[in-house]
Amino acid sequence: MAFKTFVPGVLTSSDVNTFLMRQSVITCTSATRPDAPSEGMTIYETDTDATFIYSGSVWENFAALGSWKTYSPTILSLNAGTDWVLGNATVAGQYAKLGRLVVGNAQIVFGNTSVFGTKALAISVPINVKFTTTTNAVEGIARYQDTSAGNPFVGTNSYHAATHIALFVHSVSATYALYEGVTATVPFTWASTDTISINFAYEATS
């Protein structure tokens, strides 16, 4: 929609509905977005404290104000073996989204009913990851805390699926550090109160 220079006279309903309303920042909620948006329309959602711009097909998140949002991370067991189970583990996560960039962190403190599987481990992200074969979709640091020994181990996380990222520890058994999947005995034998802490940054699907 082109910019219009108004001249003295009476505004028509068409002027108000197009040049004025559709080129203003509209205040609404996530449930009351405009029904027939035009490309470039901008809205501010009072319930999410986020600003969106309509791309012509979808509402693109432009910016969010205030504190980071919280989410409850879940786990996924990978490959062959026995599954991990959170049980009474304490989980916490938070993230911020600017456009399609998502940054955040998550933590799991295992409990006495948690089950430590022999399968490799993945942890969920708050918003689906966009992945292509030519880009590294997710990158972040992981920290594994053995409470009984007081030893922290350092690792990384990387793309596994749109909803989860796989966790790895850095192994120095060879000349160079290698990625090794986290399991019931890697990087140590897991027990209650042991902790996983990660951060991440990636491009969201929308």
Q: Where are the domains of the chain?
A: 13-64, 69-203
Question: Looking at residue 5, what is its pLDDT?
Answer: 65
Rounded distance, CA 71 to CA 121, Å? 19
- Number of Cβ within 10 Å of residue 143's Cβ equals 14
Q: What angle do CA 45, 50, 53 make, to 5 degrees?
A: 85
Q: Which CATH architecture has domain 69-203?
A: Sandwich (2.60)
Region 13-64: CATH code: 2.10.10
Specify the pTM.
0.71
CA gyration radius, the chain: 23
The answer to whether residue 72 scores a pLDDT higher than 90 is yes
CB 92 within 8 A of CB 117: no
Residue 127: φ, ψ to 5°? -135, 140
Question: Looking at residue 3, what is its pLDDT?
Answer: 58
Query: Which residues fall within 8 angstroms of residue 52, CB to CB, at 6 or more apart?
Result: 33, 42, 43, 45, 59, 60, 61, 62
- pLDDT band at 16; cut points 50, 70, 90: confident
